[in-house]
Amino acid sequence: MAKLKVGYPAALPAELLKLFPAGIDLIPIPTVPETEITVDFWIPPPAPIPGQKVWPWLRGVSVAQSMMAGTEWLTTLVGPEVTVCNAQGAHNISTAEWTVSAVLAMLKYFPLYRDLQLAADWRGRSQASKDYAAIHDDHQPQYPAVLQEELHGKRVLIVGYGDIGKTIEQLLTPFGVEITRLARTARTSPDGKVIHAIADLDRLLPEAEIVILILPLTPESQGLIGPTQFAAMRQGTLLVNAARGPIVQTDALVEALRSGHIRAALDVTDPEPLPSDHPLWKCPNLFLTPHVAGSTPQFSPRAVQIAADQVGRILAGEPLIYVVQSGTSPAAPSS
């Protein structure tokens, strides 16, 4: 029996290769291959463009094990013959922490205070009160001045209740928020939590003060948030997108931000990367990061451990887990 050939990004730290079981051939795949490379099990780079550059050089791939939870670009790239698995759990914590941090940053007006710090002048802090009045359409006199908001007591709608959504809920719960959950289908969790169907989105949007998007990009979710959904949101709603950019219709988002109807914190955009002349850069009430929510020192070890466990299952003749596409090619090498 031929050894299982496992291809991995050559840039991975060497110590992570020790996580793989014995009895396989570990084959480093350079960022720019110069010749064809035959592997049975491929661990693509954790980003579409590098993966797209490598794929034409690969031969024999039967399993593509993503390092990420999202696999929409990977299934499109490799086609239906290849089994595709995601890295469920690899960046639950990092993405959930980014989400909670982004919520707090917006409610505490950190972008404004960062700008004032760079200007070495705190006199502009009165802008916080003006921003609060504008975004909430609340022009009643405040004494003392409103210089930040509280997360406690806010109504949060989590759109996408998979592993990351559940982790976000765990981190938000101590803040005393009221959480509503949406998933593809309605159900009640084993611990009694009510999970609404995504079909209820428009009905539930007006009740939320914070809307968190953490669902996969699928044909059904693409463009899910558009003019109708923005119109349904209450004045001052905070939209947080830690999922995929195309879930939100960008033109409608720009209009909702410019009108002052909502505010947003985005780790993802459509298009991505965002061109330097794109109107999103200059939209008010917006906090942007460049798709970094999953990028921590703990990410690669978790993702590689998942891949190593999958290799172990193949060697043991056990079924793969986290399968998002069942291909037609055999998962083990032929003799």
> Is residue 155 flagged as an active site residue?
no
Q: Tokens representing 75?
A: 């299934």
Q: Which of 67, 238, 263, 258 is nearest to 154 (CA)?
A: 238
State phi, psi for 283 to the nearest 5 degrees. -70, 140
Q: Is-contact 207 232, C-beta < 8 A? A: no
Strands 262-266 and 194-197: unpaired
> Is residue 272 flagged as an active site residue?
yes
Q: Where are the alpha helices (DSSP H) in 108-217?
A: 110-119, 126-136, 163-172, 201-204
Instruction: State whether residue 217 is helix, strand or coil.
Output: coil
Instruction: Count how many residues are written for the chain.
Output: 335
* Given the residues 234, 272, 278, 313, the one annotated as active site: 272
Number of C-beta neighbours around residue 82 at 10 A: 20
Q: Which residue type, as a one-letter code, is found at position 163? A: D
Q: Is-contact 305 13, C-beta < 8 A? A: no
Instruction: State whether residue 198 is helix, strand or coil.
Output: helix
> Is residue 136 flagged as an active site residue?
no
Cis ω on the peptide bond leading into residue 271 (within 30° of 0)?
Answer: yes
Q: Burial-class residue 233 by CB neighbours within 10 Å (0-12, 13-18, 19+).
A: buried
Q: What is the largest CA-CA distance in the chain?
A: 79
Q: Burial-class residue 52 by CB neighbours within 10 Å (0-12, 13-18, 19+).
A: middle
d(CA 90, CA 67) in angstroms, rounded, equals 7
Q: Which residue type, as a one-letter code, is found at position 286? A: L
* Given the residues 91, 196, 291, 302, the one annotated as active site: 291
Q: Is-contact 267 289, C-beta < 8 A? A: yes
* Given the residues 244, 261, 263, 302, the one annotated as active site: 244
Active-site residue list: 244, 272, 291
